[in-house]
Chain A
Amino acid sequence: MIMENIKKLLFVLLLLSGACKKPTEDLKIVVDTNVIKYTALIHVTDASNPEAVLKSGTLSVSGDNADDIYEISGNKQFNINNGVITIGPGPAAVPLAGKPETYSVQVKVPGYNTVSKSISFAADQKQQVVDVSLSKAGTVNSAPVIQKPLPVYDPVSLNFTGTCSSSPDLVIRPSMYVFFRETGSGTVYQYLGYMESGNMTATALKKGETYDFQVTYDGQNYGTTQQINNESESLTINMGSAICNNF
């Protein structure tokens, strides 16, 4: 009888010590992409038809410290996709207060005249949008780019979570420029704003409408679709290999 009781007690002690949930259950590794903290979105459009989508092109950077500039995915390949590319100085070359760094970029899109533009990165400006208007080869068009104005509605908080199909335990918090359009509209994507560590607030989204959201890096577009019903919406976006393979 006593032995039975001792055995039961020992069994309970062993069971209790092993009955707990795994400490790391449902925990992910969250990684930020804000390695390049000072960025310029270069938005390239057709001067004669801003609604036209410029499928592809390249960009080259010149200047004293041109080697400091990277595409936002950290690569040195500067491919323009859908008229969009984001560049910035690497973490070792952040601009100092009162000493902006200026670079010259050349935008080349097949069928259009090449355009050079000067871009400065300053300590007090982490994000900037640079519009570049291209005239078709053989023509001259110096008309300024006129962007279609965005509608204004109640603010909506968007929380983007980046996923990697190759690494299910990874969660990415993207810091990137976001474009959008109404789902099914067939119109070109418009610039919505910059998301910092996956978060942004937008006033151009109407409740009840469904939108396509798009980010562009490494010459590729990544998107997701979301209906806006609440003041805060959570969105998931597959980040693709260019970002996911970094980790």
Chain B
Amino acid sequence: MKKLFLLPLLVFALGKSSKAQNANWRDQVTNQKSLHFSVGTQGVGAEFAYGVLPKMSLRLGANIIPVSADNVFSVSGFNANSKMSANFSNIHLLADFIPFKSAPGFRLVGGAGYFINAKGNIAVQPKDNYTYGDIVLNNEEVGNLNMNVNWRGFAPYAGIGLLKPFSNRTFNVNLDLGTYFLKQPDANITASGILSGNTSQSAQLQQNLKGYRFLPVVQLNFNFRIQ
């Protein structure tokens, strides 16, 4: 946590030290163009950035992330494997605003994204050789259980940017910290076999997930200036 707080301090100091070299920093933003390639909590992405005003630039881009993890869900006394997966992809339009003359490397960032794909899934599959008394059940008889969540739709974004949006040279790096505010998710449970009764818990899952609307963004951008 301490390290995280030190990072903006460092950035702020960098902004101050380079002030003299960037006396005309306002002029450098307008009409500047660059291509960004990003990696972070949103996965990988690409953006085109353009300086529209002395203090403001716009970014149009897209991100995609497929992730999965095993055995994130367990139930006392129930012998099963579980797998969590999430798929998010969006297109977004963001505005970077530089509020302080003394810190050209600090930006306020706002905008919105449309999540073409924003799905989460937890799949629970009982382990092999499941028995009911002396009866050995096959996979179809046991069945499976899937918890599905979907946030597809528009989402506003707010955050900050650290390090300058455009470089005086060909290449620079900057950082985004922020969050998307996703729409309230649609959640349901599908199940089969002896687990088919779990579909009755869809309403409870929806209730549990209704607060899951923030998609935090910590993103490192690699920027290439377009002449």
Contact = CB atoms under 8 A, between A and B. Distances in A.
Interface of A: 2-3, 6-7, 9-10, 13-14, 16-17, 19-36, 70-71, 73-76, 90-91, 164, 166-171, 173, 197-198, 218, 242, 244, 246-247
A35 B77 contact: no
A29 B195 contact: yes
Given A30-B195, A167-B77, A21 B5 contact: no
Contact of B78 (A74, A167, A173): A167
B179 interface: yes
A163 to B, nearest CB: 12
Given A2-B106, A166-B77, A167-B77, A70 B8 contact: no
A16 to B, nearest CB: 5
Given A6-B12, A166-B77, A168-B76, A73 B177 contact: no
Contacts of A168: 76-77
29 contacts: A6-B8, A7-B5, A13-B178, A16-B179, A17-B179, A17-B214, A17-B216, A20-B212, A20-B214, A21-B211, A23-B208, A23-B212, A27-B205, A29-B78, A30-B198, A30-B200, A30-B201, A32-B194, A33-B194, A35-B135, A73-B133, A74-B134, A169-B78, A170-B75, A173-B197, A198-B197, A246-B131, A246-B133, A247-B79
B195 A35 contact: no
Contacts of A7: 5, 8
Nearest to A173: B197
Q: Is the interface of A mostly helix, strand, loop or mixed?
A: loop
Interface string B160-183: 100000000000000001110000
Contacts of A26: 204, 208
B12 A2 contact: yes
A91 to B, nearest CB: 5
Contacts of A6: 8, 12, 106, 160
A24 B73 contact: yes
Contacts of B147: 23
Interface string B127-153: 000011111010001000101010000
| Most B C-beta atoms less than 10 A away, residue of A10, A29, A34, A246 | A29
Given A30-B198, A34-B194, A35-B137, 15 more contacts: A2-B106, A3-B12, A14-B216, A19-B211, A22-B208, A23-B205, A27-B204, A29-B75, A30-B195, A31-B195, A32-B195, A33-B132, A73-B132, A170-B77, A242-B133
A33 to B, nearest CB: 8
Contacts of B177: 10, 13
Contact of A70 (B9, B76, B134, B145): B134
| Most A C-beta atoms less than 10 A away, residue of B12, B134, B216 | B134
B204 A91 contact: no
A169 B177 CA distance: 38
Contacts of B8: 3, 6-7, 10
B179 A31 contact: no
A215 B122 CA distance: 35
B23 interface: no
Nearest to A167: B77
A26 B203 CA distance: 11
B209 interface: yes
Given A23-B212, A169-B77, A76 B179 contact: no
Given A10-B8, A169-B78, A31 B194 contact: yes
B106 to A, nearest CB: 7
B200 A24 contact: no
A2 B103 contact: yes
B43 interface: no
B139 to A, nearest CB: 12
A42 B78 CA distance: 32
Contacts of B78: 29, 167, 169-170, 247
A91 B133 CA distance: 12
